[in-house]
Amino acid sequence: MSLSSAISTALSGLNASQAGLDLVSRNIANANTAGYTRKVQQTTTQMAGSQGIGVSQLADTRLVNRHLLQQMRTESASTSFLSVYNNFLSQIDSSFGTPDSDSSISGAVSTFATKMQAVATTPDDDAARQALINSASTLASKLNSASTQVQNLRKQAEQSIADGVTQANSLMQSIAKLNTQIAQTKASGQSTGDLEDQRDAAINSLSNLMGVKTVERDDGTVAVFTTGGQLLVDNAAAQLSFDQHANLDAGSAYSTDPTKRSVGTITLSQGTTSVDLIASGAIQSGSIAAYIKLRDTDLPQAQNQLDELASQLALSLSSDTVSGTAVSSGGGAGFELDLSAFVSGNTTGATGTQVNFSYTDGTGTHNVSVVPVSDPSLLPLPNSATTNANDTVVGVYIDPNASASAQMASIVSALQAVLPPSLVVSNPSGNVLSIVDDGTSSATVNSASTNVVENADTLKDGLGSGLSLFVDGNGQKTYTGALGTPSQITGFAGRIQVNAAIANDTTSLVLYQTGADIGDDTRPNELLGRLTDTSRVYSSSTGIGSAATPYSGSIDAFARRVVSYQSSQATSANTDYTAQKATSDTLQSKFDSETGVSVDQEMSNLIVLQNAYAANARVISTIQELFQTLLSIGR
Amino acid sequence: MQISSLSQSTAMKNSIANIQSQLADLQRQLTTGHKADTYAKLGSATSLVLSLNNQVTQSNSYIDTINTVQLRIQTSADALTSINSMASSIKTGSLTSSFNLSAGTGTQTSFQTTAGAYLDQMVSLLNQSVADRYLFGGKDTQTTPVVSTDLMLNGDTTHAGLKTVIDERAKADLGANGMGRLSTSSPTADSVSLTEDTGVFGFKLSSVSSNLSGATVTGPTGSPASLNVQFGSTLPTEGQSISVDMKLPDGTTTTVKLTATTNSPAGAGRFTIGADATTTAANFQSALTTSIKTEAASTLKAASAVQAGNDFFGNPPQRVSGSDPYTATSLQNGTAADTVFWYQGDTSGTAGDNFVATVGDGQQIAYGARADQSAIVTALKAAAVISVAQYSATDTNAAASYSALTQRTATALNYKGTQSIEGIVTKLGLQSSNLDSTKTSLQTQISTSQSLLGDNLNANDYEVSTKLTTLMTQLQASYQITSSLSKLSLVSYM
């Protein structure tokens, strides 16, 4: 024990106070820096043997609740997800216009129906017919622009995924670099607080992009994984890549099969291995997950709804059911159908889309729908190929280059193959298909009919009373909803147009047959009924209705359903987002409160440090006095 | 627990931003008057609002249709009411007018001139249009349904009008000798035969009754029918008579009655009983010939004109076949090349009810009247036939012929057992009043829908203002606290 050792002890106190003041100044300076955590000075008694010889400073530490931090990240990633999701869905919702203006697609369908009604009342009024064509064009262009918007949003999502991946890569690089620095700094016993703050900020940003989990290592580094468990960063960062597709349309879709995929996917490469992160479902949260879900699920569903609406709208006006003729041959009875509209050399002015019949045998009543396809790879067709939930669908490949008789033969054999032998399918003459029972068993054919679509250029004297008011694309193609790769319905909402031949000569809205008068309300009344009264069945691929009980209703009812479906999606996305944001805000605020800088506290620390400094200085000055006293003894 | 300065200020910023966005939304509500500017903000009310909007649009379009249809029905009904009152006047005129040829024409009575004027009016009423749409042409709304009266009656160089058709028919029915296509003969000296001509024209013998003593009456039998009166040794006595019932072209019948008399000359409708059967037969034959000629020139002529009217107003019009009407035996269809088709409109389906209007969900009415509906044609025909008949002051049968014509017209205009114009008007009126009640219920529906829409769409000003005030107070308090808190720092007290 000596005065000199007291001086050095007091000096170490002065140093500690100075370091403390330095820390306070740094804390105060960063009081408003987001992500800065309060650093706390760590001191311990400096020992010399068993003797304390002053105060020793340790590296500053930060007080972070690891559990709270992970929870905050998880919630914050969900918030980013919902924020993006809400943003996109609200854009679709906004495209319907304000509720009071009734300018949505559903409003356009209503208007179209009222104009049709006006023509039915006054078919000879040129202005009324023109107004009908205008409202049909408005409806078509509303469907076009809604479809374009959906596809633009998908492109935007694709672009955002690309941006997100770029950001994620640079964040992962930063994290890896910081990991190295922290390990080195920690090994040298220095404070790693600020580096950790930076690393946390980078991990938070990464988590907002794609939702990550972290595992801390003893050397101070952190390993980052996707929620699905793929390692993103350890000592080195993995590489994410995204093969962005510039042109997305309604036909572009994600597939785990790279040859069928027509949108981009995120690939994680580490060393020689690479993983498709979308296929493995690794990205469940964060904004990238939201963009993927929008691009691959929600927006395609919205497109499906628009396509279904456009398809049903066109078909409601253009398709006709032609009933078969009852025949009896031998002991059997059944029906004959003229399939001229289905085979080569078709001059009926219509295109056959389905042959439907129903028969009863010992096992009950069966409905069979025969659907012709021009691409054999589509076979066999699933029962969902038609919207009817209670039918057995028989796909028949009709070789477009074959002769009518060969085509008839393939229909006969395909049909006979799925029917009980007690029903006889044949092609007695020409393009006639005959389905009769054998007269001895209990099987009977109940009904038979064909479904045809009047061709775009059949404006009068058609097979039925339909009219192709809406056509497919600039080529004015007849819309039949033909199956294929892609099927005609895919993206039809973006292509639907008013038949130019009718727009140019509006009298075809009325003159349904040669010799009909322009004052004849038969056709407009028929079309009006098809539009507003006839109940149609809608595909469950739209998310409206289920496969077992598909949604059925008039066209205008379905249009309303589409609008309310999309707006309710937006409503719930908004509700979810608001609730989620409140949760993550609360956590963030709790975290910030716990780890952030309180200026008041720092100020009170300042006073304490000031006092400590003064006290240590006082000790030194006292020791100096003592030394002087001691020295003066010798004088 | 410490509260970091950053979290304090962030929380404050967040809550102020939140209040400000709420304020902006309330402000929007106040200025636009609408609760929501997107369907999503409407929440669960979206479906209701969409279907109410659709209902209002739909109902309004039904009302538009009803208004248009009502205008048509009302105009049609008004026109038909006028036509009906003219038809009534013609009927009354037919029953009351006497045969006085007017000085102006010299060939027609003043009633006939009036009927001609009525015909003009009827045609012009039937050619009425509403908004460039002819009302009485059925589905053919762009063609004048009825040709002009002049063309209808007079035809043109290539097309026969009503006058020509009547003339031809009169010739065919009366025959060259004015015997109504009958001929008398005496197969034996003491018998007389009356025989029809082949074909559809002229008198057709239907029955004969006689109480002439000693005379044997046979027939009418055979085809063409013929009857025979065989006088015997016993001669008829004074006052005994024989009546021959004959069918006329228009389906009516007439009777020629000859009474035996001892007077000589016998006088009209009588024959002188001769000394024996042979002279009596000769007297009878000549009296019969005279009577038939008189009947032909009066009643048959009128009936022929009426039937010619039926022929002309039929679809297609019927014309006397062959080049010489006097010897014609049948009718043939008139063609657009040789005959005026009075009705130019649509002839498909059944006349009337040719339009279908949708006036409610699944509610349709068929409506309309057509110029070729039988009740209307009857009125037109009556006016036309009367207006074209011409008489000569010197013709002794003219008065009887005129009277036969007017009687027939009056009978036709009674509409006994057929639909009358009044019937059509009544039906239109009922439809109109049904439409009225449909309209009223649609209007009620619209106002209910609109009030529901209002409840769901419109912002309540009171509610919005109250919320605004509350928020403003809240915001003020927040600002105040922010400012107080900013002063509350240890820094200020050191």
pLDDT in tens, A121-142: 999 888 999 999 999 999 999 9
Strand order in the sheet with A239-242: A239-242, A266-270, A273-276
Say if residue B220 is preceded by a cis peptide, omega within 30 of 0.
yes
pLDDT score of B1 more than 70 = no
Tokens 């039906």 -> residue: B427
Separation in Å, CA of B61 to nearest CA in chain A: 6
Q: Do A564 and B47 touch (CB under 8 A)?
A: yes
Q: Is the dihedral of CA B256, B260, B261, B266 positive or negative?
A: positive
The predicted pLDDT at position A1 comes to 59
Could you tell me if A560 and B47 are in contact, meaning their C-beta atoms sit under 8 angstroms apart? yes
Enumerate the residues of chain B whose CB falls inside 8 A of the CB of residue A113: 57-58, 61
The conformation of residue B296, written as its DSSP 8-state character, comes to I
Enumerate the residues of chain A whose CB falls inside 8 A of the CB of residue B361: 532-533
A511: three-class secondary structure by DSSP: coil
Per-residue tokens: B123: 């045609």
Per-residue tokens: A182: 């922290």
Per-residue tokens: B5: 């300065």
Could you tell me if A77 and A207 are in contact, meaning their C-beta atoms sit under 8 angstroms apart? yes
Could you tell me if A199 and A179 are in contact, meaning their C-beta atoms sit under 8 angstroms apart? yes
Mean pLDDT of A159-177: 95
> Chain A 506-525, CB below 8 Å of chain B: which residues?
516-521, 525
Beta bridge partners of A242: A266
B1, B6, B14, B139: best mutation site toward chain A, by most A Cβ within 10 Å?
Answer: B6
* Rounded Cα distance, A37 and A181, in Å: 18
pLDDT score of A372 more than 70 = yes
Could you tell me if A278 and A74 are in contact, meaning their C-beta atoms sit under 8 angstroms apart? no
Is B6 touching A (CB cutoff 8 A)? yes
3-state helix, strand, coil in chain B (%, to 5): 50, 15, 30
Confidence category of residue A291, pLDDT binned at 50, 70, 90: very high
Q: Do B4 and A563 touch (CB under 8 A)?
A: no
Look up the pTM and report it. Answer: 0.86
> Chain A 95-154, CB below 8 Å of chain B: which residues?
96, 98-100, 102, 104, 106-107, 110-111, 113-114, 117-118, 120-122, 124-125
* Rounded Cα distance, B382 and B407, in Å: 11
* Rounded Cα distance, B207 and A374, in Å: 79
The predicted pLDDT at position A635 comes to 65
Q: Which residue type sits at A627?
A: F
Q: Do B490 and A603 touch (CB under 8 A)?
A: yes
The predicted pLDDT at position A378 comes to 87
Among the residues of B346-418, which ranges form H helices? 374-388, 398-412
> Chain B 327-366, CB below 8 Å of chain A: which residues?
346, 355-358, 361-362, 364
CA angle A496, A498, A504 (to 5 degrees): 155
Mean pLDDT of A35-60: 86
* Rounded Cα distance, B384 and B412, in Å: 13
Examine the predicted complex and report whether its ipTM is higher than 0.90.
no
Could you tell me if A368 and A379 are in contact, meaning their C-beta atoms sit under 8 angstroms apart? no
Cα–chain-centroid distance for residue A177? 35
- Nearest Cβ partner of B57 from A114, A567, A574? A114
Per-residue tokens: A608: 């304490």
For A441-464, how does the pLDDT look when each residue is reduced to its tens digit (9 = 90+)? 778 889 999 999 999 999 988 888
The predicted pLDDT at position B191 comes to 86
Enumerate the residues of chain B whose CB falls inside 8 A of the CB of residue A124: 132-133, 141-142
A556, A598, A608: best mutation site toward chain B, by most B Cβ within 10 Å?
Answer: A598
Say if residue A380 is preceded by a cis peptide, omega within 30 of 0.
yes
> Chain A 311-330, CB below 8 Å of chain B: which residues?
none
In which element (H, E) is residue A505 found? none
For B260-319, how does the pLDDT look when each residue is reduced to its tens digit (9 = 90+)? 888 878 788 888 888 888 888 888 888 888 888 888 888 888 899 999 999 898 888 898
Enumerate the residues of chain B whose CB falls inside 8 A of the CB of residue A104: 39, 50
The predicted pLDDT at position B110 comes to 86
Q: What is the 3-state secondary structure (H, E, C) of A385-399?
A: HCCCCCEEEEEEECC
Q: Do B133 and A124 touch (CB under 8 A)?
A: yes
Mean pLDDT of A142-151: 93
Mean pLDDT of B46-66: 91
* Rounded Cα distance, B221 and A455, in Å: 66
- Nearest Cβ partner of A93 from B39, B53, B494? B39
Please tell me which residue, A205 or A246, carries the higher pLDDT value. Answer: A205
Q: Do A519 and B133 touch (CB under 8 A)?
A: yes
Q: Burial of B145 by CB count in 10 Å (0-12 exposed, 13-18 middle, 19+ buried)?
A: buried
Q: Do A563 and B50 touch (CB under 8 A)?
A: yes
Beta bridge partners of B363: B360
pLDDT score of A208 more than 90 = yes
Phi, psi of B259 (to 5 degrees): -110, 140
Angle of helix A3-29 relative to helix A599-633, nearest 10 degrees? 160
Nearest Cα neighbor of B269 from B286, B282, B248 is B286
The predicted pLDDT at position A527 comes to 92
* Rounded Cα distance, A484 and A488, in Å: 7
- Nearest Cβ partner of B346 from A93, A517, A596? A517
Long-range contacts of A25-31 (CB under 8 A, 24+ apart): A27/A597, A27/A602, A28/A597, A28/A599, A28/A602, A28/A603, A30/A597, A31/A596, A31/A597, A31/A599, A31/A602, A31/B4, A31/B5, A31/B6
> Chain B 135-164, CB below 8 Å of chain A: which residues?
137-142
For A558-591, how does the pLDDT look when each residue is reduced to its tens digit (9 = 90+)? 999 999 999 999 999 999 999 999 999 889 888 8
Q: How many residues does chain B have?
A: 494
